[in-house]
């Protein structure tokens, strides 16, 4: 799923230490250094890029910041268009003890992964 944040919100939170780090991470793009942009509800928005865990962390961090009295706006792309997101997406977590070849069940998991 794609997520986007209004550029105006990013400009406001840029002035805080935690916000500055999140804005820098939000604007990074591995391919060419330019973040993708979309226009949503009349606002220019930055599309968050990267792996699912990275994007989930960015969304969670941005939702935890405030612009005045409201949280930062985050939009999520769905088949029917973009909708406002109020909670960070959940991504699969790795098990505490990853399967190994010493474990007969783990060997089965590794061979069929």
Q: Which structure tokens are listed for 53? A: 């865990």
Query: What pLDDT shows up at residue 110?
Result: 47
| Strand pairing category for 74-78 and 70-71 | unpaired
Rg (alpha carbons) of the chain, rounded to whole number: 18
Dist CA 64 CA 97 (whole Å): 30
Q: What is the pLDDT of residues 52-79, one digit of tens each?
A: 888 888 899 899 888 888 899 999 999 9
Out of 2-6, 38-42, 103-107, pick the least confident: 103-107
- Distances, alpha carbon 3 to alpha carbons 19, 27, 41, 77, in Å: 17, 12, 14, 6
Q: Which domain holds residue 63?
A: 3-111
Model confidence pLDDT, tens digit, residues 8-49: 998 998 888 878 888 887 777 555 556 789 999 999 999 988
| pLDDT confidence tier of residue 102, bands split at 50, 70 and 90 | low
Tokens coding 55: 């994007």
Q: Please state the domain count of the chain.
A: 1
What b/e string do you get for 63-76 counting C-beta neighbours within 10 Å, with b at 16 or more?
bebebeeeebbbbe
Position 20 scores a pLDDT of 85
Q: What angle do CA 15, 16, 19 make, to 5 degrees?
A: 100
Find out whether 6 and 84 touch, Cβ atoms under 8 Å: no
């Amino acid at each position: 799923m794609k997520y986007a944040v209004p550029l105006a919100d990013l400009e406001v939170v840029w002035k805080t230490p935690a916000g500055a780090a999140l804005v820098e991470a939000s604007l990074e793009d591995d391919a060419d250094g330019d973040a993708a942009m979309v226009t949503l509800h009349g606002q220019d928005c930055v599309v968050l890029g990267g792996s699912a865990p990275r994007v989930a962390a960015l969304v969670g961090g941005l939702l935890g910041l405030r612009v005045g009295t409201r949280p930062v706006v985050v939009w999520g792309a769905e088949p029917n268009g973009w909708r406002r997101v109020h909670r960070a997406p959940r991504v699969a977590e790795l098990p505490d003890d990853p399967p190994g070849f010493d474990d007969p069940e783990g060997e089965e998991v590794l061979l069929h992964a």
